[in-house]
Amino acid sequence: MAEDLGFSESDMIKEEKSEVNESQLNIEKESVDKLSHRAKFVRSMVSEFNKNSFLKNHFVAGVRSVSEFDKAYKYPDQYTATRIDMENFPMELLELNGSDSPWVILQLHGGGYVGAFKNNYRNMAKFYSEAGKGAKVLTIDYRVAPEHVFPAALDDALCAYEWLLENGYTEENIILAGDSAGGGLAMALCHYLKDRGKMLPKAIIGFSPWTDLTASGSSYTENVDKDPIFGHSKEDIINKSTYIGEDEATNPYISPLFGEFEGFPPMLIQAGTHEMLLSDSSSVAEKAKAAGVDVTFTIYEGMFHVFQMVGYLIPESKKAWSQVGEFIDNLT
């Protein structure tokens, strides 16, 4: 049973070595042999796609930085989506008709700071809304590198956060949520707000957050052969980020791992055993917990980077979204 460290690890979790005293930890484990058949199939398909240079060149090359914000998308009838055009980027506010949920989730998408908004983040917005029992979700199409290096993404995230505050929401209503680069950006935004004496949001949800752009974690080498997304890639998105620009990768507003976490709101962090960025999650969870932050950190056995994106297709992702709902329910 997982530790009183606040590392709440589900029955699909594997223990990872930690500098934290193991007597403080209490971890439930489930063997990789119990990985669902659907999850094994999806992970295999993801791996095969990323190993196939023809498929990647045909479907990915040249379109990563092209936003799909203006691309058609049909939400279920019970939802209303409103476009909001800011000076430097557009946003979309998703609302469940008739909902009285107090929450608004500011979704910051992933993509290594070079990938623009894609329509699958509208799927994610719906999942977040469902997890929050009708929470509103504000998704932003922030500017990306190499055309827009640091601090463009942070500036846009801050702008969206301030828009919420100017439009009837309080910090107590706002949950920051992001995957990969978006998860790191959520934490970077909190560092920025804290350093300026601003009130912080109610909570942070991070799916495999990219928190260390120096790529110093052990999983960058230990998991390279089993990561189905980055392990087979010839690209160098995570080792030579163009987002950094002329700044330093150790800047906490770029790599939040290097910041101080005292005073941060509760955080839910989820990651998989089969990803090179696992250290980014475990290191930031340990550091934040040591600083007194209420951290729920879950490592899903056999899972890959941002597996939650498949929604309810596999049991592991369904369980992860259920945990998001429980996390939000427990916010006070």
Sign of the CA dihedral 105, 111, 113, 118?
Answer: negative
In a domain, 6, yes or no: no
Q: What is the DSSP letter of 233?
A: -
DSSP β-bridge partners for residue 104: 136, 174
In a domain, 17, yes or no: no
Mean pLDDT of 273-285: 96
State the catalytic residue, choosing from 301, 305, 316, 317: 305
Asked if the peptide bond before residue 151 counts as cis, ω within 30 degrees of 0, the response is yes
Range from 43-47, 93-97, 248-252 carrying the lowest mean pLDDT: 43-47
Higher pLDDT, 51 or 275: 275
In a domain, 5, yes or no: no
Query: How many distinct helices (H) and strands (E) make up the chain?
Result: 8, 8
Mean pLDDT score across all residues of the chain: 86
In a domain, 140, yes or no: yes
Contact 105, 177 (CB under 8 A): yes
C-alpha angle with apex 146: 140 to 152, nearest 5 degrees?
Answer: 45
Mean pLDDT of 49-54: 54
Number of structural domains in the chain? 1
pLDDT of residue 35: 78
- Domain with 187, as residue range(s), is 33-329
The pairs formed by 292-295 with CB atoms below 8 angstroms and a separation of 24 or more are 292/262, 293/261, 293/262, 293/264, 293/265, 293/266, 293/267, 294/6, 294/265, 294/266, 294/267, 295/5, 295/6, 295/7, 295/266, 295/267, 295/269
Q: How far apart are CA 158 and CA 114, in angstroms?
A: 18
pTM value? Answer: 0.86
In a domain, 19, yes or no: no
Statement: residue 23 has pLDDT above 50: no
State the catalytic residue, choosing from 47, 180, 219, 241: 180
Give catalytic status of residue 274 as yes or no: no
pLDDT of residue 65: 81
In a domain, 139, yes or no: yes
Q: What is the pLDDT of residues 254-275, one digit of tens each?
A: 999 999 999 999 999 999 999 9
Mean pLDDT of 242-254: 97
In a domain, 40, yes or no: yes
CATH of the domain at 263: 3.40.50.1820
Q: How far apart are CA 284 and CA 115, in angstroms?
A: 23
In a domain, 14, yes or no: no
State the catalytic residue, choosing from 275, 286, 301, 316: 275
Give which of 13, 31, 29, 170 is closest to 104, Cα–Cα. Answer: 170
